[in-house]
Amino acid sequence: MSWLTKTLTSSIGKKLLMALTGLFLCTFLVVHLIGNLQLFKNDGGYAFNNYAVFMTTFPVIKIVSYVNYALILFHAFWGLYITYKNRQARPIGYAVVKNSSSVFSRNMAILGTILLVYLVVHMSDFWYRYHNEALPYVKYTEQIASGNIETTPMEIGYTQEAKKVETVNEEAGTRTVIVKDLYNVVSFSFQNILLVLFYVLSMFAVAFHLFHGFQSAFQTLGWSHPKYTPLVKGLGVWVFAVLIPIGYAAMPLYFYFFK
C-alpha cells in the first residue's frame, strides 16, 4: 500500500475525507443559497431564470456542479460505510445507556440519510425536469431605456433549440429574452403543502447535521485552538445551522404563502 492509501484508509484518514468533502458541500450551500435568493426578486423570475441558464451552460460551473454531485454521493456513501464499520466495533450493546453527547452528533448517519432522500426528491423536482422535460417558456421584454420588464408566458408547446434566445429591437428600444420558466415550476411546485412541509422539515435535518458537522470537520482536520475554535463553533451554529437553513426554508414558505 502506498502511503497515501494507507493514510486515507486509516480511521483518521477516512474521517479526513468526510471532513474535506463536508466542508466543500458547506461552501456549495452558501453559493446555492445566495444564487437562489433571486427567487425573492419580484421580477416575474427574470433574474432567476437567466441565472438558471448561466448555471447550466457556463463550462466552469458545469464542471464544478458535476464534481459537487460526485462529492455529495461520496460523502453520503462513505459516511454510511464508516457508520457501518463503527457499529462493528461494538457487536454487543449495552442494556442501559445514558448519553453524555448531543443527540445530533450521535445521529449524523440518520440525518445524512434524510438529506440524501431529500436531495433525490429535490433534484427530480427541479434539476431533472429542467434538463429533461418540456417546460413552459417565458418571454421577457425589457425596455432598455427604463429597465422595465414585461413578462409574457409563451404558448403551451413552444420550444426552442437554445436555452436562451435573446433579441434586441433597436427601433423599439427593447430587448426580448425567451428562456425556460423554471421560476414558474418552482412557484407551482410549492403550492403543494406536502412538498413545502417536506422541504421545511428537511431543512431541520440540514440544521442538525451542520450543528455537529461543521465544527466536527475542523476537529478532524486538527483545527483546535483557543483563539479560533470559538469562531468555528460560532460559524457552525449561527451561520450553518441557523441562518442558512432558515434562508432555504424561507423559499417554499414564500411561494406557498405569497405567490
Partner 1 sequence: MTINLKVWKQKNAKTSGNLETYKVDQVSPDMSFLEMFDVLNEKLVQENKEPIAFDHDCREGICGMCSMYINGQPHGPLEGVTTCQLHMRTFKDGDTIVVEPWRSAAFPVIKDLVVDRTAFDRIIASGGFVSVNTGNAQDANNLAIGKDKADMAFAAAACIGCGACVAACKNASAMLFVSAKVSQLALLPQGQPERESRALNMVAQMDAEGFGACTNTGACAAECPKEISLDNIARLNREFLGASISSQEV
Residues that bind partner 1 (CB under 8 A): 2-3, 6-7, 10-16, 82, 85-102, 105-106, 108, 212, 215-216, 219-224
Q: Which 8-state DSSP code applies to residue 95?
A: S
Least distance between partner 1 and beta carbon 13 (Å): 8
Nearer residue to partner 1 within complex by CB, 179 or 207: 207
Least distance between partner 1 and beta carbon 61 (Å): 31
Least distance between partner 1 and beta carbon 135 (Å): 42
Q: Which residues pair with 9 in a beta bridge?
A: none
Query: CA separation (Å) from 33 to 64, 213, 227, 247?
Result: 16, 19, 29, 7
- Continuous segment of H or E residues that includes residue 249: helix 244-258
Nearer residue to partner 1 within complex by CB, 27 or 102: 102
Nearer residue to partner 1 within complex by CB, 187 or 215: 215
Q: Give CA–CA dist 43/131, Å, rounded.
A: 23
Residue pair 176/48 in contact by the 8 Å Cβ criterion: no
Nearer residue to partner 1 within complex by CB, 16 or 23: 16
Q: Give CA–CA dist 118/248, Å, rounded.
A: 13
Residue pair 256/193 in contact by the 8 Å Cβ criterion: yes
Least distance between partner 1 and beta carbon 4 (Å): 8
Nearer residue to partner 1 within complex by CB, 101 or 132: 101
- Cell 451542520 belongs to 210
Least distance between partner 1 and beta carbon 225 (Å): 9
3-state helix, strand, coil in the chain (%, to 5): 65, 10, 25
Least distance between partner 1 and beta carbon 9 (Å): 9
Question: Is 169 strand, coil or helix?
Answer: strand
Instruction: Kindly calculate the radius of gyration of the chain based on its CA atoms and give it in whole angstroms.
Output: 22
Nearer residue to partner 1 within complex by CB, 6 or 259: 6
